[in-house]
Amino acid sequence: HCIYQVKIFVSLLYIQEFYEVTLLNTQKSCEQKLEEVNHMADKWEKSVSIQNSDS
C-alpha cells in the first residue's frame, strides 16, 4: 500500500517537472511542446504495457 503511494508521489513530481520545464517554457514553440508531450505519452504507454505484462 505504501509503495503505491510513493510511486504516485514520484509520478506527480515528474508531471510537475515536465509541466514547468516544457509546457511553461515560453522559448519553446507549440510544435516543440507537442513533440515532447507525444514523446512523454509514448514512454508512459510503453512503461504501462511493460508493467501489465509483468503481472
Q: What is the dihedral of CA 32, 28, 40, 5, to 10 degrees?
A: -170
pTM check: above 0.75 = no
Q: Side chain identity at 17, as an amino acid letter?
A: E
Domain carrying residue 47: 2-54
Residue 55: pLDDT band with limits 50, 70, 90: low
Grid coordinates representing 29? 514553440
Residue 33 near residue 20 (C-beta atoms within 8 A): no
Residue-wise pLDDT tens digits, 1-53: 789 999 999 999 999 999 999 999 999 999 999 999 999 999 989 887 777 77
pLDDT at residue number 47:
85
Domain count, the chain: 1
